[in-house]
Structure 1
Amino acid sequence: MKQSKRHQEIIDLVKTQGYVSTDDLVERFNVSPQTIRRDLNELAEDNKIRRHHGGATIPSSSVNTSYSTRKVMQLAEKDNIAQAMVAHIPDGATLFIDIGTTPEAVARALLNHNDLRIVTNNLNVASILTGKDDFRVILAGGEVRNRDGGIVGEATLDFISQFRLDFGILGISGIDLDGSLLDFDYHEVRVKQAIIENSRCVMLGVDHTKFGRNAMVNLGDISQVDMLFTDQTPPEELAKRLAEYDTHIEII
């Protein structure tokens, strides 16, 4: 493959996924790591990507990939992660389910459970779960975002803060290698923080494209997560942080 075509495909992958690793690119293009590193350095110099340890991210940290694109990305990985997460949730449990495509996968995976009580600020999750007669679904009030069915705002924050539930199912845009939990929307982040504070067990499901991915709002630290579920081993720097806090990790 010509370098110019490979460069364009790398740019397209970064725009679609938000983060791509050097190892994934080496395997995809069947070239040496040195070639990929040179490609990434050249693209970063032209401000077409942002170079990152072990890979590359989108040059902007202020704009997320569109919901319609994220909805079809890493589908099998998200479904597998969701199945692993719900295996830890017993019948009769209470839980928060957050905004995001992975939390929506968790909602679908929960349909084989019984007698759950769910609080959510995600219209898509509510729609999935109301199909079960023995589920009680409580939908937060607030401003509905047309782009993804998320509900955010001060009213949402106040509503979430009324509860103390067994599990909090989080979605997230990125995890920095220092363990920072990152997202794009300040209002959404405040709701996520409330879910963390009011859950007895915080569960985070992320596919590998979220490791090292850049986003502008810091919502917390990986130390606040009790259980992490992913499809690939985290980068070494992040793995060390997880080990420091004895976080339960499942690689699916």
Structure 2
Amino acid sequence: MSPNPRQLTLLSVVQAQGSVTVEQLADTLGVTLQTVRRDVQRLADEGMLARFHGGVRLPRSTTENIAHQQRQTLNADGKARIALSVAEAVPNDCSLILNIGTTTEAIARALLKHRGLRVITNNLHVANILCTNPQCEVIVVGGVVRGRDHGIIGEAAVDFIRQFKVDIALIGISGIEADGSLRDYDYREVKVSQTIISHAREVWLAADIGKFNRPAMAEVASLSQIDRLFTDAQPPEPFPALLAEAQVRLTVAAP
């Protein structure tokens, strides 16, 4: 399904708060309980929400991410705002690595007017977006293409990235847990992301507010390995203290 504007707003509310009662959703959206229940049922049937008695939350599987098309619709406005903030900070004439994720795809769209970029990516969506910029050279990582999101993973991808040292790694992540660990679902993707982090002079993490306290199985890195974090709202507790301790520079995208 393609969620309608009201359902997209509903998803954004749930993502921002973690879990919400049906009554709270009806008040926030200004609609009837019957309308909210119908929307929640449709979104739950598509795997975009998980229901519990009296309320709804985001799916919280630690082993499998939700589908790429569904992730594109989740907090799309927040991701677009994050992308603009990142693009404002990226200088012309620099080298970048962008990894897999719908947030990095939004960043790629925001970089279309930059000049003199050399971009390495294991995300075919990012490559397709940035190759339309004549002022940008795109280098696609070799490896196994994962069909569900066109990400490139595996040992061949790791070996390819090891050839380079870039100015900035722009990375997305599936979840940031309360111990400061950055987590993802596919261990083959994790190994690629770890290599990207170790082959960049600076590491910038782009993560919308729904990624905080979201569990995933495999650890990619810790906040101490990140230089800058771009997000769309003030992170919840305990993350402000964790970010300060790790000396991560926080940028909250303007509304």
TM-score range normalised by the length of the shorter chain: 0.7 to 0.9
* Structure-to-structure mapping, 1:14-53, within 5 angstroms: 20-22=17-19, 28-30=25-27
SS at structure 2 position matched to 1:78? helix
SS in 2 for 1:243: helix
- What is the root-mean-square deviation in Å for CA atoms of aligned residues? 2.6
**1:235 deviation in Å?**
1.3
Q: Is the 8 A contact 1:18 1:58 kept in 2?
A: no
In structure 2, what is the equivalent of residue 130 of structure 1? 131
- Paired letter, 2:189: E
The answer to whether the 8 Å contact 1:57/1:213 transfers is no
1:80 equivalent to 2:93? Answer no
Q: Secondary structure at the match of 1:112?
A: coil
Shift in alpha-carbon separation, 1:181–1:92, aligned structure 2, 3 A: same
Alignment of 1:109-148 (within 5 A): 109-148=110-149
Give the direction of change, closer, same or farther, for the CA distance of 1:113–1:25 in structure 2 (3 Å limit).
farther
Tell me the CA shift for residue 58 of structure 1: 3.1
Is 1:67–1:148's contact at 8 Å kept on the other side of the alignment? yes
User: Could you list the runs of 5+ residues in structure 1 that have no partner in the other structure?
Assistant: 1-8, 32-47
2:121 partner amino acid: T
Contact 1:19 1:211 in 2 (8 A): no
**Structure 2 residue identity aligned to 1:149:** H
TM-superposed deviation, 1:236: 1.7
Counterpart residue identity of residue 189, structure 1: V
Q: Which amino acid aligns with 1:129?
A: L
Contact between 2:124 and 2:150, CA under 8 Å: does it hold in 1? yes
Residue in 1 that maps onto 2:103: 102
- Rate the CA distance shift 1:235–1:56 in 2: closer, same or farther, 3 A: farther
Q: Which residue of 2 is the match for residue 220 of structure 1?
A: 221
The Cα of 1:70 is off from its aligned counterpart by 0.3
Aligned to 2:207: 206
Matched residue, 2:46:
none
Task: In structure 2, list runs of 5 or more residues that go unmatched.
Answer: 1-6, 29-49
Q: Distance in 2 between matches of 1:20 and 1:189?
A: 27
TM-score by length of 2: 0.79
Task: Give, as a single letter, the amino acid of the residue that structure 1 aligns with 2:80.
Answer: D
Over 3 Å counting, the alpha-carbon distance change for 1:229 and 1:23 in structure 2 is: farther
8 Å contact from structure 2 (residues 178, 213) kept in 1: yes
Structure 1 residue aligned with 2:241 = 240
Deviations 1:114-151 (A, max 9, x none): 01000001111111111112211110100011111100
Q: Deviations over 1:8-27 (max 9, x none)?
A: x9xx969x977842589885
2:64 maps to 1:63: yes
Q: Does 1:172 align with 2:169?
A: no
